Amino acid sequence: MAKLDESLVRALPPFVRLSRGEIREILDQAVSKRYEEGAAIFREGQEADRFFLLLDGYIRVVRTTPGGDQIIALHIPPGQLFGIAPALTSDRYPATAVAAAECVALSWPVRLWPEFTATYDGFATEVARTLGQRLGEFQAKVTELATKAVEQRVAAAVLRMANQSGRPTEAGIEIAFPVTRQNISEMTGTTLHTVSRLLAAWEKDGIVRSTRRHIVVTAPERLAALSGADR
């Protein structure tokens, strides 16, 4: 690949504690690739041969239930490691990674994982932080599914995406990547019909604006109240 300048990545968590020379060593062993929206970067159960760092775009992490249903477990923003199966002592990817928007990612062969985590302190620190953060997200999601009503779950999912990726616009906070009603149903364990009904009601009440693939949260405090979030 064309050489990526160290200055473009040194603010990202895996690199912030490293010298410019150490960053160069890591980048010289990376492959850079662009993924179109909807492309699967790797699939659940596939042999984990590479690990990744997302430079631009958003990743949708999808799990398949024993019954064959798809569940969207979380979204990964730019600057984070993903596909880190070695951190879970697994030789298979535990989920499918799909480009929620056009993405650019660096990747390295798994054989470099022990060297990177032992040699480069930033990588080891970021792996621990990332695993802790994602465990927290999974626990929160399980709690939502077990304890919250459908409207609360859908509101919480939309609010979470707005908080994680939202960009201010004149209309409100726009979720920065395409998201469909089907995506939201797969995040919340409910039906497409229910999600469509709720979004239509919220739009009528001035809480969101939605099209087929984009959502703008126009009243975040009201959406937070619907989600049951602590105020």
Helices then strands, each counted (H, E), the chain: 7, 12
Asked if residue 6 has pLDDT above 90, the reply is: no
How far is residue 138's CA from residue 86's CA, in Å, rounded to a whole number?
19
pLDDT confidence of residue 44: 96
Pairing of strands 40-42, 31-35: unpaired
In sequence order, the 6+-apart residues with CB closer than 8 A to the CB of 61 are 72, 73, 74, 75, 76, 82, 95, 96, 97, 98
Q: Are 187 and 157 in contact (CB under 8 A)?
A: yes
pLDDT confidence of residue 231: 43
pLDDT confidence of residue 208: 96
pLDDT confidence of residue 42: 97
Is the pLDDT higher at 7 or at 192? Answer: 192
Q: How many percent of the chain have pLDDT more than 70?
A: 98
How far is residue 132's CA from residue 109's CA, in Å, rounded to a whole number?
23
CATH 2.60.120.10 assigned to 6-145: yes
Task: Tell me the domain boundaries of the chain.
Answer: 6-145, 148-227
At 105, is the pLDDT very low, low, confident or very high (cuts 50, 70, 90)?
Answer: very high
Tokens linked to 221:
């405090």
Q: Are 52 and 106 in contact (CB under 8 A)?
A: yes
Residue 210's DSSP bridge partners are 215
Q: What is the pLDDT of residues 111-157, one digit of tens each?
A: 999 999 999 887 888 888 888 888 888 777 777 877 889 999 999 99
6-145 and 148-227, same CATH topology: no
Q: What is the mean pLDDT of the chain?
A: 90
| CA dihedral of residues 102, 126, 138, 190 (deg, nearest 10) | -10
pLDDT confidence of residue 126: 81
Which CATH architecture fits 148-227?
Answer: Orthogonal Bundle (1.10)
Asked if residue 36 has pLDDT above 60, the reply is: yes
Q: Are 227 and 208 in contact (CB under 8 A)?
A: no
